[in-house]
């Protein structure tokens, strides 16, 4: 590509508005001194010692960042154990404080104090050792949001066995592919879980996956479903029986080098070759602890809730490792946000007196669609900070979140990061920088990011281009540390900054304003081509959801006899809004006013919901298949497959 404009991302204009955090928040914040940015600039990379200082080290590292053998080493020479940092070291001061709080799909509740967590982690670590798991063995986990999942992760970390968590909504084929790719011969799973009150079996998928793996698989099965008692095979073991057999046992933690693997996670969906991302013990853990401390403002006395699934990197970093490293109480929720009622999340916030709430824009748009009467039923005054993660947030949804959930008194951190980065990279420090609705914020202290065109040249402020990170950070994965994966020379879709030897190519489009605030415009491949003109999906969808009464929108291209390709807009209105011709015309007008008549939608399709993956991302590929009247393929990744038929009917009727 010749320049950033080819990305089709140069016309989106974020809201130019500033909001300051309340004085009461600033006074109690973990990081409130703006000089931190200059300190990182002047003392990089040694300034990252402040992240390492949040951990306990068995042996001190030699230096913060080392370049050797053609790669990079963070905290080289240091020795530590992640489980010790998340559990053991908190016992003297807070052994009776809650570490994990679990809210089940059927209304069940469980909690673990740090002492109780320590005991069960040790017992399961002993059980894993008894099954033959040793240091360096990779253990796969295929489990829903139940306490046994973080317990298993910590038990593996205790004995130096990297874990490989696979999202429970994935198919048997996806699980088997990931186990094979990881050479994993150990699987921890459960009999099933509940979705909207209905039992969903998991063991049959785990059995199918295990049978497809080349090596024999040893399986541990957690009992979750009531009244379901599956027969265990010769290499299968009951979790509860193993704990009983190893009750009261304690396992000495294995010292791990800072550069040793902590876990592996795969980024691809249920099809295609999965892409492995391997995070390190010292660099990753220090980075997630520091960003949890500085961006999410987590304190030991907090009750903190990230609504993600642990099967994704957000759950790894900001449900398990970051919060527990800081000694706080972290909430796990198994169910859907609207089951049994649409006030389910706010009921939990009120009951648990949640201080910090971190969720996805997809969820916020659903909250908007349902209406403010649901959060209004509950006392949300315990909330101190709100966060968003997973995709760009539209300014209108940002303001709704700020007003109706935060009561205009909670700062919002709109965070950008990826599986590959391990932790938050772009965001305001909530007590230091003003908020701008729709703009994530500046790069964090110590993070160097820029927006460039297709030749790698930095673009002007306000101009769209490609987001690249051109300086190393502690949370970078092994693949980047070795320099053999995603930090290399310019390619057609991933330019390298001019004059820079090393850069991580994020494949996200972005723009940076005069204040250094970055607005994320979505994936570079989220670009549609109409009559030879390329448009970013975010600019089009943002124009639509800015219309009063519209909650969500997705735009795709479909075939058109006259122009080859035409725009289809799938629109979900708020629950109290009727889908009228006036609303349809408002969608057309909004698109034309934003990018011109060339992008006028051929069809505006009203739908009660948009098809989403289990992680909450809109499946645009499926919408494009419907627009083109093509075979829909595998729908197993959808969390709401029932909406597909309704969308097909709506397209035919239009």
Average pLDDT over residues 106-134: 97
More confident position, 621 or 457: 457
Q: What pLDDT does 319 receive?
A: 98
Q: What pLDDT does 546 receive?
A: 84
Average pLDDT over residues 123-132: 98
Alpha helices in 403-533 (DSSP H): 478-481
Lowest-confidence pick of 144-153, 309-318, 492-501, 616-625:
492-501
User: To the nearest 5 percent, what fractions of the chain are helix, strand and coil?
Assistant: 30, 25, 45
Question: Whole-number mean pLDDT of the chain?
Answer: 89
Average pLDDT over residues 574-593: 85
Average pLDDT over residues 328-347: 93
More confident position, 629 or 246: 246
pLDDT tops 50 at residue 330: yes
- Model confidence pLDDT, tens digit, residues 96-119: 999 999 999 899 999 999 999 999
Residues 195 and 197: their CA atoms lie apart, in Å, by 5
Burial of 560 (0-12, 13-18, 19+ CB in 10 A): middle
| DSSP letter, residue 484 | S
- Model confidence pLDDT, tens digit, residues 430-445: 999 999 999 999 999 9
Lowest-confidence pick of 116-125, 260-269, 524-533:
524-533
- Model confidence pLDDT, tens digit, residues 526-583: 667 665 556 667 778 878 888 888 888 888 888 776 556 788 899 988 877 888 889 9
Average pLDDT over residues 180-209: 92
Average pLDDT over residues 502-529: 85
CA distances from 59 to 86, 255, 258 (A): 17, 9, 10
pLDDT tops 80 at residue 225: yes
Q: What pLDDT does 11 receive?
A: 45
Q: What pLDDT does 651 receive?
A: 74
More confident position, 623 or 28: 28
Q: What pLDDT does 146 receive?
A: 97
Q: What pLDDT does 418 receive?
A: 93
Average pLDDT over residues 177-191: 95
Q: What pLDDT does 515 receive?
A: 95
Question: Residue 31 in contact with residue 429, Cβ under 8 Å?
Answer: yes
Q: What pLDDT does 226 receive?
A: 87
Average pLDDT over residues 496-508: 78
pLDDT tops 60 at residue 53: yes
Average pLDDT over residues 368-377: 94
Q: What pLDDT does 275 receive?
A: 83
Q: What pLDDT does 270 receive?
A: 38
Spell 110-131 as b/e; 16+ CB within 10 A means b: ebbbbebbbbbbbbbbbbbbeb
Residues 314 and 607: their CA atoms lie apart, in Å, by 29
Average pLDDT over residues 80-99: 98
Q: Using 50, 70 and 90 to split pLDDT, how confident is the model at 22?
A: very high
Q: What pLDDT does 634 receive?
A: 65
pLDDT tops 60 at residue 393: yes
CA angle at 53 for the pair 48 and 56, rounded to the nearest 5°: 135
Residues 411 and 402: their CA atoms lie apart, in Å, by 8
Q: Using 50, 70 and 90 to split pLDDT, how confident is the model at 306?
A: very high
Average pLDDT over residues 84-92: 98
pLDDT tops 50 at residue 271: no
Residues 324 and 99: their CA atoms lie apart, in Å, by 7
Written as six digits, the tokens of 583 are 């609303």
What is the CB neighbour count within 10 angstroms for residue 359? 23
DSSP string, 497-511: -TT-S--EEEEEEEE
Residues 420 and 423: their CA atoms lie apart, in Å, by 8
Q: What pLDDT does 632 receive?
A: 77
Q: Using 50, 70 and 90 to split pLDDT, how confident is the model at 269?
A: very low
pLDDT tops 50 at residue 477: yes
Q: What is the pTM of this model?
A: 0.87
DSSP string, 222-257: E--STT--PPP-TTEEEHHHHHHHTTT---PPPPEE
């Amino acid at each position: 590509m010749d320049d950033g404009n080819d990305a089709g991302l140069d016309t989106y204009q974020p809201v130019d508005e500033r909001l300051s955090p309340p004085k009461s928040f600033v006074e109690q914040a973990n990081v409130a001194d703006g000089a931190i940015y200059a300190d990182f600039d002047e003392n990089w990379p040694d300034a990252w010692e402040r992240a390492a200082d949040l951990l306990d080290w068995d042996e001190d590292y030699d230096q913060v960042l080392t370049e050797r053998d053609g790669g990079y080493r963070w905290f080289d020479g240091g020795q530590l154990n992640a489980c010790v940092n998340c559990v053991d070291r908190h016992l003297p001061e807070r052994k009776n404080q809650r570490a994990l709080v679990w809210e089940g799909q059927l209304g069940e509740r469980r909690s673990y104090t740090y002492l109780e967590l320590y005991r069960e982690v040790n017992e399961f670590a002993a059980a894993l050792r008894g099954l033959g798991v040793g240091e360096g063995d990779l253990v796969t986990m295929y489990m829903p949001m139940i306490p046994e999942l973080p317990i298993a992760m910590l038990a593996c970390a205790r004995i130096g066995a990297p874990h490989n968590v696979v999202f429970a909504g994935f198919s048997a084929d996806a699980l088997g592919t990931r186990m094979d790719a990881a050479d994993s011969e150990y699987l921890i799973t459960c009999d099933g879980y509940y979705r909207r009150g209905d039992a969903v079996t998991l063991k049959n998928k785990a059995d199918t996956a295990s049978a497809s793996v080349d090596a024999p698989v040893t399986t541990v099965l957690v009992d979750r479903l009531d009244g379901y008692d599956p027969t265990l095979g010769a290499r299968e073991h009951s979790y509860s029986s193993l704990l009983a057999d190893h009750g009261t046992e304690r396992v000495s933690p294995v010292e791990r080098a800072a550069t040793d693997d902590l876990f592996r996670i795969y980024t691809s969906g249920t099809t295609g070759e999965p892409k492995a991302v391997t995070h390190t013990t010292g660099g990753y853990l220090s980075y997630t602890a520091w960003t949890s401390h500085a961006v999410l403002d987590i304190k030991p006395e907090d009750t903190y809730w990230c609504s993600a699934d642990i099967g994704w990197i957000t759950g790894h970093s900001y449900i398990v490792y970051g919060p527990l490293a800081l000694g706080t109480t972290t909430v796990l929720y198994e169910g859907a946000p609207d089951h049994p009622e649409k006030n389910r999340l706010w009921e939990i916030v009120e009951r648990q007196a949640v201080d910090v709430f971190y969720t996805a824009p997809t969820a916020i748009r659903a909250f908007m669609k349902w209406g403010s009467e649901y959060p209004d039923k509950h006392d949300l005054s315990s909330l101190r900070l709100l966060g968003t993660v997973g995709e760009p947030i539209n300014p209108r949804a940002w303001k709704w979140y700020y007003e109706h959930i935060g009561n205009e008194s909670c700062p919002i951190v709109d965070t950008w990061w990826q599986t590959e980065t391990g932790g938050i990279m772009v965001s305001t420090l909530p007590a230091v920088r003003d908020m701008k609705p729709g703009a994530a914020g500046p790069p964090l202290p110590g993070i160097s990011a820029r927006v460039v065109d297709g030749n790698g040249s930095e673009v002007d402020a306000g101009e769209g281009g490609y987001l690249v990170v051109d300086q190393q950070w502690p949370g970078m994965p092994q693949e980047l540390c070795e320099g053999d994966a995603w930090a290399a020379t310019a390619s057609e879709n991933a330019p390298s900054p001019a004059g820079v030897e090393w850069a991580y190519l994020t494949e996200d489009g972005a723009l940076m304003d005069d204040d250094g605030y970055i607005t994320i415009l979505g994936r570079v491949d989220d670009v549609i081509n109409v009559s030879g003109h390329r448009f970013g999906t975010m600019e089009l969808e943002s124009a639509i959801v800015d219309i009063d009464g519209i909650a969500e929108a997705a735009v795709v291209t479909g075939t058109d006899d006259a122009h080859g390709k035409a725009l289809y807009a799938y629109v979900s209105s708020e629950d109290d809004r009727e889908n009228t011709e006036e609303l349809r015309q408002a969608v057309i007008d909004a698109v034309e006013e934003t990018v011109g008549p060339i992008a006028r939608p051929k069809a505006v399709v009203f739908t009660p919901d948009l098809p989403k993956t289990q992680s909450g991302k809109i499946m645009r590929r499926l919408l494009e298949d419907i627009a083109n009247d093509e075979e829909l393929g595998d729908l197993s990744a959808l969390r709401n497959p029932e909406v597909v038929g309704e969308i097909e009917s709506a397209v035919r009727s239009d």
